[in-house]
Copies of this chain bind each other. A is one copy, B any other.
Amino acid sequence: MARGTNGKSQRQKKLTKYLANNPLLKDEDLAGVLGVSIQTIRLDRSELNIPELRERMKTALQGDSPVKSLGSDELFGELLDIEVGCYGISMLNITPEMAFRKNLVARGHHLFAQANSLAIAIIDAEIALTGSARVQFKQPVKAGDKVVARADITGYNDNRYKVEVKSTVLDQTVLESAFTVFVLHKEDN
């Protein structure tokens, strides 16, 4: 994590963006994702005049989701940032229920679900379906980790999108994945 004034200004920019995209993020989640203490997040919010969660929830109830291809509760993880047709960032809290009881390592399909649903969410179409995927688990993820995934559309051809997703825990890559996503009946809808 970058430190000092630059680090702070960078962090506050991210914080503002993440909360603009998802006003329901908790201070605790933001602290985990940005690699600082909850106290620091509270100070940042205070400096930036961003109200606390309860206030933000009221405002959020009036807004509309930018995501077309998914229901708002169909994303696996919390949306941090999105530009539909371009990229998206989400965060997934790994709970003990998502891990093998034996070793508390997160089960692969949860990380897959985060990456896959984010890849679908950034597609600018009403109906998008996964055609194929390649995934590489780089590091085991443990219960308690917060996984930040970033998906980018890296190619487009007819009705087929290529989406690459990188999932990280505090700057360490834990999963790299690439999806082919098909848009169905784009003209008809």
Contacts and interface: CB of A to CB of B under 8 A. Distances in A.
Given A109-B117, A129-B140, A74 B103 contact: no
Nearest to A76: B109
Interface stretch (A14-22, A45-53, A79-87, A130-138): A130-138
A130 B112 CA distance: 11
Interface of A: 70-71, 74, 76, 100-103, 105, 107-109, 112-113, 116-117, 126-127, 129-137, 140
Nearest to A140: B129
B107 A127 contact: no
B135 A133 contact: yes
A65 B19 CA distance: 47
